[in-house]
Amino acid sequence: MNAHATDPAPRLPAPATHSVFGGADPGRIGRVTRAVGAVAARPGLLRIGTRGSALAVAQTTTVAEAIAAATGLDVTLVIVTTQGDTSRAPLAQLGGTGVFVSALRDALAAGECDFAVHSLKDLPTGACPGIVIGAIPERADARDALCSRGGVPLAELPAGGKVGTGSPRRAAQILAGRPDLEVLDIRGNVDTRLARIEHDLDAVVLAAAGLDRLGRGGVISERFPLAEVPTAPGQGALAIEVRSADAASDPYRTALAALDDPTSHACAAAERALLASLEAGCAAPVGARAEVSGGRLRLSAAVYRLDGGARLDASADAAWEPRGDATDDVAARLGRAVSDRLLADGAAELAPLGNRA
């Protein structure tokens, strides 16, 4: 693994709107560094925008290493502070997890970085002018994870116990299984949330993928099965955004091709198509699970009443082959089909679904 530089970035030429690149030596693997402050474009360097949390840096580093290996160019992480990083207000009040995205997109559009890495579940489903998702790497564990005092599973938490989460979906799912528990809204990074288990909470629910990427999988008491507890559309997957004008040219094209996993891309696209068709925000109480088996892409979804007292389910599948643009078409059709079934069964009356609320 390449070392991360912690020293200030060297003095570089004046910023350019887009990066310019020199040819890399065949077989060369570029260096991966982490910049302090802004980094101007220069030949032989690709810049990746990321949030500054430990989790964001860890997952972006894996992307940077793959790009450095594929292109032979040096890659540096450019830290961008987002509204979601500075505000302590509940995510639902801030407009959902999209608050983690806009500053990164602004930096990308302004030429301050060449790629932006997001947790896919944080990305709004609407199009962003001038920016596209260029790749979705192989997905990590999409399940939610319970981390509890004493390592007990959800069924063994004490009656009236307190569980922390910042997600209305997770809150509804917890209450569906244990209506006696008290669910509290919490914010903060992974370590901040875990620390509360020994302070004022009996458990917290986090994404298993994030804990695994941080090497913290050992704190997990229980991983909830996706068939019973579907998670946020795109959970466990990363999205690599790029300026649309650059996506088809090298070295961007080479980097994105090395990163993209067709199966993960198809599953995530179907889940996001469902969310878009429901006109639901990232924080809506909607769980989704897509999988590929036997040449078919299957999408299942659930919509919850916020108190966990009711749930609607729907699913659909379609033939699928990893053939570029066809993936997005199949995913969009599946998302609409499952959304139509949920809405026909009363999903908009059961839960707040964005514009339908």
CATH number at residue 201: 3.40.190.10
Select which of 170, 213, 216, 243 is catalytic. 170
Is 126 found in the same domain as 245? yes
Torsion of CA 84, 85, 91, 93, to 10 degrees: -70
Section 210-221 average pLDDT: 96
The reply to whether 54 and 40 lie within a common domain is yes
In the chain, the N- to C-terminal Cα span, in Å, equals 47
User: Considering 139, 169, 178, 289, which one is annotated as catalytic?
Assistant: 169
List the one residue out of 154, 19, 125, 35 whose CA is nearest residue 73. 19
Per-residue model confidence (pLDDT) at position 355: 53
- The residue from 139, 143, 193, 289 that is catalytic is 193
Q: 91 pLDDT band (50/70/90 cuts)? A: very low
Q: What percent of the chain has a predicted confidence (pLDDT) above 90? A: 76
Residue with tokens 């209305």: 168
CA distance 73 to 32: 9
Closest of 77, 84, 58, 66 to residue 30, by C-alpha:
66
Q: Is residue 58 part of a domain?
A: yes
What's residue 141's pLDDT?
98
Residue tagged active-site, from 34, 47, 51, 121 = 121
Q: How far apart are CA 323 and CA 269, in angstroms?
A: 14
> In DSSP terms, which residues pair with 318 in a beta bridge?
297
* Residue of 28, 187, 305, 336 marked catalytic: 187
Nearest to 62 by CA among 263, 261, 230: 261
88 catalytic? Reply is no
Task: Please check whether residues 202 and 325 belong to one and the same domain.
Answer: no
Q: Where is pLDDT greater, at 199 or 95? A: 199
Same domain, 252 and 130: yes
pTM summary value: 0.86
Strands 45-50 and 115-119: parallel
Rg value, the chain, Cα: 21
Q: 160 with 255, same domain? A: no
Q: What is the mean pLDDT of residues 208-218?
A: 96
Instruction: Flag whether 27 is in a domain.
Output: no
Whether residue 18 lies inside any domain: the answer is no
Q: Is 288 helix (H, G, I), strand (E, B) or coil?
A: strand
Do 149 and 216 sit in the same domain of this protein? Answer: yes
- CA 341 vs CA 196, 230, 335: distances in Å: 40, 17, 10
Across residues 141-162, what is the average pLDDT?
A: 97
**Cβ count near 130 (within 10 Å):** 11
Answer whether residue 73 is part of any domain: yes
**Domain count within the chain:** 3
Q: Are residues 297 and 318 in the same domain?
A: yes
Q: Is 282 a catalytic residue?
A: yes
Does some domain include residue 11?
Answer: no
121: annotated active-site residue: yes
- Crossing angle of helices 262-278/325-344, nearest 10°? 40
List C-alpha distances in Å: 38 to 8, 12, 34, 87, 199.
Answer: 10, 10, 11, 23, 38
Q: Is the peptide bond before 251 cis (omega within 30 degrees of 0)?
A: yes
Q: Which amino acid is at 67?
A: I
Q: Kindly tell me if the per-residue pLDDT of 199 is higher than 80.
A: yes
Q: How far apart are CA 44 and CA 310, in angstroms?
A: 55
- Identity (one letter) of the amino acid at 83? Q
- Asked if residue 12 is part of any domain, the answer here is no
Question: Among this protein's residues, is 34 annotated catalytic?
Answer: no
Last residue of a domain, one of 160, 194, 223: 223
The whole-number pLDDT of residue 25 equals 60
CATH number of the domain within which 282 lies: 3.30.160.40
Question: Both 253 and 277 in a single domain?
Answer: no
Is 139 an active-site residue? no
Whether 181 maps to a domain, the answer reads yes
Judgement on whether residues 153 and 219 belong to the same structural domain of the protein: yes
Q: What is the mean pLDDT of the chain?
A: 88
Which tens digit of pLDDT belongs to each residue from 293-311?
A: 999 999 999 999 999 999 9
Look up 170 and say whether it is catalytic. yes
Q: Are 258 and 282 in contact (CB under 8 A)?
A: no
Q: Active site residue: 74, 105, 114, 122, which one?
A: 122
> What pLDDT digit, counting tens, does each position of 224-243 carry?
999 999 999 999 999 999 99
* Domain presence at residue 185: yes
Q: What is the pLDDT of residue 327?
A: 82
Are 304 and 196 part of one and the same domain? no
Range of the domain at 203: 144-223
Are 79 and 56 members of one domain?
A: yes
Q: Are residues 92 and 127 in the same domain?
A: yes
